[in-house]
Amino acid sequence: MRLEGKVAIITGAGSGQGKASAKLFAKEGAKVVIAEWNEEAGKRMEQEIVDAGNEAVFIQTDISDESNVTLLVDQVVDMYGRIDILFNNAGIGFSSSSKYKMAPLLETPLKDWNDILGINLNGAYLMSKYVLPVMIKQKSGNIVNNSSLNGVLGVTGADAYTAAKGGVVALTRVMAVDYGKYNIRVNCICPGAIDTPMIADALKNPEVSKNYEAGPLGRVGKPEEIAYAALFLASDESSYVTGLIMPVDGGWSVV
């Protein structure tokens, strides 16, 4: 019970890494708020956690929409009176079902650039902007951001995504500096390739999957392996850790 009694908002908890984290956080005693824009996936996740005897509530949210975010935060405060953990996890990326073009800068239309930054960077900004005052008031809080190796390396071919994830890394550092005095910690995970619906199509391409498996551990990661990293950062076990940019990538970035 590493998160006993904590109120934890997880964005994008209907799929992949967010889903694995929601299940793990709930198992570890957190009251999990599933902030997800996909209604079916959010409801399913809520039911799964409740069926396992743990606590969760789904609140349909588009993290790129300010009024959605304020409504979410108000509802959570009404329900629980506090917010201990925010996992800014939701993002859009590489799947072919995504309507956004992942491409180098010259081939990226402005609309796609704006939409990708609007979710992957502005979403983390908006969620933090409305959750931080609650944490400041209670003089404690813990924010974990989900960036990507794209945020710290010159990974080509998805320049809007890469710029957004770089923004999340920079935002993590500055938030850690600005809000540490309120006993708020802010850390960031940079996953390597993780086997979720986001990269399911890319993994079908043997050249791409060979590249994803090129790290020392020779395989892609599992969503649960990100969830455990998030759990460590979200729990009191990491109480002296803030501003950390943590790759969880099977060593891909050190080769």
Query: Judged by CB under 6 A, does residue 123 bind ligand NAD?
Result: yes
DSSP-derived secondary structure letter, 194? B
Query: Judged by CB under 6 A, does residue 16 bind ligand NAD?
Result: yes
State the binding string over 195-224 for ligand NAD (x if CB under 6 A, else -): -xxxx-------------------------
Helix (H, G, I), strand (E, B) or coil at 41: helix
- Quick one: how many helices (H) and strands (E) in the chain? 9, 7
Q: How many residues bind ligand NAD (CB under 6 A)?
A: 31
Q: Is position 228 annotated as part of the catalytic site?
A: no
Q: In whole angstroms, how close is the CB of 72 to ligand NAD at the nearest point?
A: 10
From CA 132, how far away is CA 88, in angstroms rounded?
Answer: 13
From CA 13, how far away is CA 68, in angstroms rounded?
Answer: 16
DSSP-derived secondary structure letter, 239? T
Vertex 229: Cα angle to 224 and 230 (nearest 5) = 90
17 versus 128: smaller Cβ distance to ligand NAD: 17
Stretch that binds ligand NAD, among 12-20, 75-83, 131-139, 171-179 (CB under 6 A): 12-20
Q: What backbone torsions phi and psi does residue 94 show, to the nearest 5 degrees? A: -90, -10
State the binding string over 143-172 for ligand NAD (x if CB under 6 A, else -): ---x-x------------------------
Query: Judged by CB under 6 A, does residue 18 bind ligand NAD?
Result: yes
- Chain position carrying tokens 């924010």: 143
Q: In whole angstroms, how close is the CB of 248 to ligand NAD at the nearest point?
A: 9
Active site members: 161
